[in-house]
Amino acid sequence: MTAAANTAAPVLILGATGKTGRRVAERLTALGVPTRLGSRTAPIPFDWNDRATWAPVLEGVRAAYLTYYPDLAVPGAADIVGDFAEQAAKAGVERLVLLSGRGEPEAQRAEERVQSAGTAWTVVRAAWFHQNFSENFLVEPVLQGEVALPVTDVREPFVDADDIADVAVAALTEDGHAGEVYEVTGPRLMTFAEAVAEVAGAIGRKIDFVPVPMDAYAAVLTELGEPEEVVWLIRYLFTEVLDGRNAHLTDGVRRALGREPRDFADYAREVAATGVWTV
């Protein structure tokens, strides 16, 4: 039995309703590990922007999974996460696992703050999720048969959220992961056009990929009522982070779990079978 499963002290999961947080919670529950879900609507409410909620949610916690919404790249996020990590260490939290992003200087500053907080830490530095096509803003475009994005031929090592969750759970519950930075990617590089083609092939329906100018894309997001910070983040991710800097594979999943990462084609076939992309 793992260290975390040997105690009644819960593991705190921040962002427990998100793509990775939900999966981490499910896995910990299946292992019999007590969990505490951190959100504004949880029994013990948590809000990154309300520091009065931090102490109650940390009380009695042994380990914590940290995800920051909407992204660690947002100005000021690194200091908020770093301050929380320091408070967690002072509260007796024995290990912190931070979900970070590849190629984001602000995210790496958050990593440094967590690493210096005063307790054991693991960083999971992730590429673009497979699940953005099935659980996020790309679902509707897939259903409509046209995915328009402000990107052309940049290649990205898309990674599966299930792999991320498996790495996070290992770091939260097993020995041997403290002090590790696991940069996790899928097993191959793909353009967004190629990823869309994989989805189209899995569902047997034509889906066009259309590259569009960033300004035009941002204007559409604003017209649709997306918050200003979300529009800023999309602009940042597509114009700076997706500039080719992440167009290489890493061995984070293999190092953490001793197995290969899940391929995008397998993800697309499995999701297609669920009917999520059925018109």
In a domain, 62, yes or no: yes
Domain that holds residue 23: 4-129+159-186+247-262
In a domain, 165, yes or no: yes
Given a cut of 90, is residue 136 above it in pLDDT?
A: no
Span 88-116, average pLDDT: 97
pLDDT for 3: 41
pLDDT for 83: 98
pTM for the model stands at 0.95
Span 56-85, average pLDDT: 96
Helix (H, G, I), strand (E, B) or coil at 37: strand
pLDDT for 7: 64
CATH number (domain holding residue 10)? 3.40.50.720
Instruction: Collect all residues with Cβ–Cβ distance below 8 Å to 142 and sequence separation of at least 6.
Output: 133, 134, 196, 199, 207, 277
In a domain, 19, yes or no: yes
Q: What is the 3-state secondary structure (H, E, C) of 153-181?
A: CCEECCECHHHHHHHHHHHHHCCCCCCEE
In a domain, 257, yes or no: yes
Helices then strands, counting H and E runs in the chain, come out as 11, 10
Span 90-95, average pLDDT: 98
Span 267-275, average pLDDT: 98
> What sign does the dihedral 158-262-74-78 (CA atoms) show?
negative
Percent of the chain with pLDDT over 90: 93
Looking up tokens 């403290």, which residue turns up?
178
Span 268-276, average pLDDT: 98
Displacement of CA 279 from its chain's centroid (Å): 27
In a domain, 104, yes or no: yes
pLDDT tens digits, residue range 231-267? 999 999 999 999 999 999 999 999 999 999 999 999 9
pLDDT tens digits, residue range 156-198? 999 999 999 999 999 999 999 999 999 999 999 999 999 999 9
Domains in the chain, number = 1
Rounded-to-integer distance, Cα 164 and Cα 167, Å: 5
Rounded-to-integer distance, Cα 10 and Cα 171, Å: 15
Closest of 5, 21, 30 to residue 67, by C-alpha: 21
pLDDT tens digits, residue range 1-38? 344 444 689 999 999 999 999 999 999 999 999 999 99
Percent of the chain with pLDDT over 70: 97
CA dihedral 60, 65, 71, 76 (to 10 degrees): 40
Span 44-66, average pLDDT: 97
pLDDT for 169: 98
pLDDT for 187: 98
DSSP string, 99-130: EEETT-HHHHHHHHHHHTSSSEEEEEEE--BG
In a domain, 94, yes or no: yes
In a domain, 231, yes or no: no
In a domain, 101, yes or no: yes
